[in-house]
Each structure stands twice: as structure tokens, then as C-alpha cells.
Amino acid sequence: MTILVAGGSGLVGSAILNELSRSKKQAVGISSKDVNLLNRSETFDFIHQLKPSLVVDAAAKVGGIGANDKYPVDFLSENLQIQTNLIDACHYAGVAKVIFLGSSCIYPRNCPQPIKESYIMAGGLEPTNSAYAIAKISGLELIRSYRKQYNYKWITVMPTNLYGPNDNFDLQNSHVLPALIRKFVEAKDSNSSTVSLWGTGSAIREFLYVEDLAKAIIFCADNYDSDEHINVGTGVGISIKDLAEKIAELTDFKGQINWDTTKPDGMPVKVLDTEKITKMGWKPRVDLDEGIIKTIKWYRENK
């Protein structure tokens, strides 16, 4: 039994490969250096030759609020191509199980909290990342359609905001938590007296350590079979202001935090309802402080 992890060099893919290795399962990870998933024929040929029994689609063009807002065509077009080529190739090769990874940005901007799986398409999307959200919604619907038309046991997992080792810390296109870690570490190391951050700090987000997601994906591969996607998160929210103050403390930054309120906050509140997966027996193991400490350590050792 061969497991393929697409996006194997990224934050999520590398964590899944590490978890599979610990579980003594045979897995192959690919990145854009190995297979160009934007190339349909190349993708089809690779999947047909490998003939995996399980494919985890962790490959995507991702970025923070600024990158999503500035390059919507890239985030929509490239993600549609990547996921459609890979999913269609899995059908062509007769892959028994596919796990497509969505994103919590698929939910409406002004969504009731915590967000249940059933709230999808119940309102307008957050404008700053609507292109990426629509791509992910399309992937979810493609998985559901393949289940309906061909009776596959393919599923969609919907993770919350992720962080951890091997994250992207590039300030131009990273997500909020790794960006905060980099800013505070650099400010501490350079003895800077101030750190400038986007928005008001009032937005509330939920953060899941990526190793916990990896365990959840393997858990779902063995235990979940439904055409409805399944949320994966902690169910616990924190304001960006409180998160910034926590990271400042954990990096020993003593200076002042300045908020640039001309920049967007994004979705006001985004916390997932994780009752479905926790009732099945999965729960996160790494709390936020522990996860941030581990991620700061990894960033300092690898920056």
C-alpha cells in the first residue's frame, strides 16, 4: 500500500509524511520540483505509474491576507488547476481513497460561531481571500461529485489556521502566526524598540499545531467516510492582539507593539465547531503555548 502526499515539502505535507513514517507506513511525498501539478498530462502520467492506494492533497498555492488580496487570479486559477488535475488523475488511475484538504476560509465572513460544517455557502465570503475560498469550495464539490457519480470513498478535511515547523515565514506571503514569530524574533535579535502589525488586533482566530492535523488526517483516512467535509481544529479562539502579546512574551520582546489600522483585519471571527471529529475520538494534543515555543525554536534553528 503506497500513500502519496502531494505538497510533501510544505508545512502540512511534511508533517503528514513525518507522522506516516512514525506509523511505519510507506509514503511518497512530492513537491513542484518532482511533479508539476499545473501540467495535466504530467500529473496523469505520474499518478498512473505510481498507482497509490491513498492520495492526500496537501498541494496548494497559499499565502496570507496581503498576498490573497493582491493576487486573486493566481490563488484562484492555480489552485483550481492543481486540485482538478490531481483529483481527475486519481480517478483515471482508480485510486481508492483521496483526502482533499480545504480551508476554513470557505465559510461566510459573518458566520455564526463556532462554525459548523453545515454553514458553508450560507453567506458572502471574506473579500480579501474569496478567490482562494472559491477554489477550495470547488475542490470540495469535485470530491463530493466523484463520490456521487463513481461511489468513491473520497473525503474532504477542513482544517483551521495551521502553524508549526517548516512553515512559511516570508513576510510578503506568510500567514499571521509565522509572520508574528518572525517579526518578534527579528525585533528581539536587533534590539528594536517597536514592532508594527497589520490591522486592529481585534480579529479572533483559532490555531492548530500542524502535527495534530497530521494525526487527524491519518485518523480520518481510517475512520471517516462521508460526502460532507469534516472540520479539524481546537475550537478555541484568540484575538490577534492577545496572540501578538503572547508571542512577544515567548520571544522575550520588551518593546512596543504598534497597530497599522489602515490594513485589513480579514474575517472578524473564525473558530470551528469540531464536535463531529471529537465525538469520533480525535482531539488535539499540543496547546498553543507549547506549539508556539516549538515553532519559535524551529524558526531560530532554521532561519
Residue type, 224: Y
Catalytic residue selected from 92, 107, 132, 299 = 132
Task: Find, among 244, 241, 221, the residue nearest to 232 by Cα.
Answer: 221
Contact by Cβ (8 Å): 212, 286: yes
Residues 85/37, Cβ–Cβ less than 8 Å? yes
132 catalytically annotated: yes
Q: Fill in the amino acid letter for 173.
A: N
Active site residues: 132
